[in-house]
Structure 1
C-alpha cells in the first residue's frame, strides 16, 4: 500500500510516481493508494496515478485508490480517471478488491 498525505501537485507528483514504481519493482502487483490524507490533487498527480496504473496493469496487476476526500473524488470523477482506476471508500474495501478473492465493484 502507498499512503499519501498533503497536496498532490507538480512538486510532489514525482515522489508519488517513484513510490508506485518502487512497489512495482519490488514485485507488488496489487497496489492500493490510500488518499485519505490528500486535500488537493492536480493534473500532474492524475498523470502519476495513470502511469502507475498502466505499469502495474501491463504486468497483470491492479491498482486501486482508497478513501479520497470529497474534493479529490470530484477531481477523479470530472476527469473520468475513476472509470479506469477503481475508487473505494476505504482501504479495506480497496484491499478486498485487489485480493485474489476480491470482486470488481467499486466502493
Structure 2
C-alpha cells in the first residue's frame, strides 16, 4: 500500500491511498491520519480511487479517523471509492455515517454525498 498527503491552501488535506488496505498494512494509513488530524479543526479527504482491497481493519481506520476529526471540530470525508468499496461502505452502514463523495473536489466542497 502507498499513502501520499497533499495540503491545500485552505488548510484541508487530501490523503491518497493506493493498493490493499488490510490488517498487514493499515498502520501506514493510521499513522498518516494521526499526523494530519493532529491540528485544530482538521479537514481531511481520503481519496480511495486507488484502493484495490479493504478489510475490516481498513474500515475501522476510517471510523477512528472520522471520530477524531469530529471530536476536534473538523471532518474526515471519503472520496472516489471504487465500486466494490462503495458497496461495502453502504452495506455496513458507513457511507451515511462518514460521508462518501464521488470526487475529491466534491468532498472538499461538501457537495452531494453518494
TM-score (norm 1): 0.88
CA distance in 2, matches of 1:54, 1:48: 10
Structure showing the higher helix proportion among its residues: 1
Where structure 2 has 5 or more consecutive residues not aligned to the other structure, the ranges are 1-13
Higher relative contact order at CA 8 Å, sep ≥6: structure 1 or structure 2? 1
Q: RMSD of the TM alignment (CA)?
A: 1.3
- 2:19 matches 1:10: no
Equivalent of 2:100 in 87, 91, 101: 87
Q: Secondary structure at the match of 1:40?
A: strand
SS at match of 2:73: coil
Structure 1: gaps spanning 5 or more residues: 98-102
Alignment-derived partner of residue 5 in structure 2: none
Alpha-carbon offset, residue 2 of structure 1: 0.5
For the pair 1:71 / 2:84, whether they are aligned, the reply is yes
Count of residues in Structure 1 that have an aligned counterpart in Structure 2:
101
4+ residue stretches of structure 1 with deviation over 2 A?
Answer: none
Matched, 1:21 2:34: yes
Cα deviations by residue, 1:12-71 (Å, 9 ceiling, x for unpaired): 211111111110125561100000000111000011110000011100101100000000
Higher strand share: 2
TM-score by length of 2: 0.83
